[in-house]
Amino acid sequence: MKFFASSALNAAAIGLAQAYTTNIRVARDATVLYTGSIGALNLEIILLGFDLPAKSISKCMLKIPHPIEVATNGEYALSVAVTDNNWAEDTVSGANKSLNGIDIGSVLVAVGLKPGDIDVTSSCQGAMDGKLSLFVESQPASTHFNSIQSGSPAIFSLDVTY
């Protein structure tokens, strides 16, 4: 007697589940100005809010879109920090949202090239109540991105694998 089985049948037979990846667009975003926060400088930070699936997340990558404006001709850096979810898109400001956050990662981007992704897996896995909030800071400042209200498909998103 001969036996044959595809790898999919083998996986099903022994109860292995295949990973599934979905793209989740930012649900809330705001540009927050912190006046005089660092010495006499004004600091402009992007605040992103995501609604995560109620599943066990194995990988989570922040997808960074092309900016609509960059204040340099060479390179710019983007750094990401996780922060609390205590903010509302229509009322958040530098006066009511603390700059407290835990650095996650950064990426250096040559102007004109597509920004890389940043691994935010541990932050997605530790998100409270299925919500994740991230600060995105650019150096030099004044690197601008489309907001969710722009209607553009080129906005921040997450590739979530579970």
User: Which pLDDT tens digit goes with each residue over 1-26?
Assistant: 444 444 444 444 445 668 899 999 99
> Which residue from 148, 146, 141 is spatially nearest to 90, judged by alpha carbons?
148
9 found inside a domain: no
User: What is the per-residue pLDDT across 46-63, written as a single tens digit (0 to 9) for each?
Assistant: 999 999 999 999 999 999
Task: Show the domain range for 125.
Answer: 19-161
- Count structural domains, the chain: 1
Closest CA to 104 of 130, 73, 132, 76: 132
Q: Report the alpha-carbon distance of residue 64 to residue 116 in Å, rounded.
A: 7
| Coil/strand/helix, residue 148 | helix
| CATH number assigned to the domain comprising residue 144 | 2.60.120
Query: Does 2 map to a domain?
Result: no
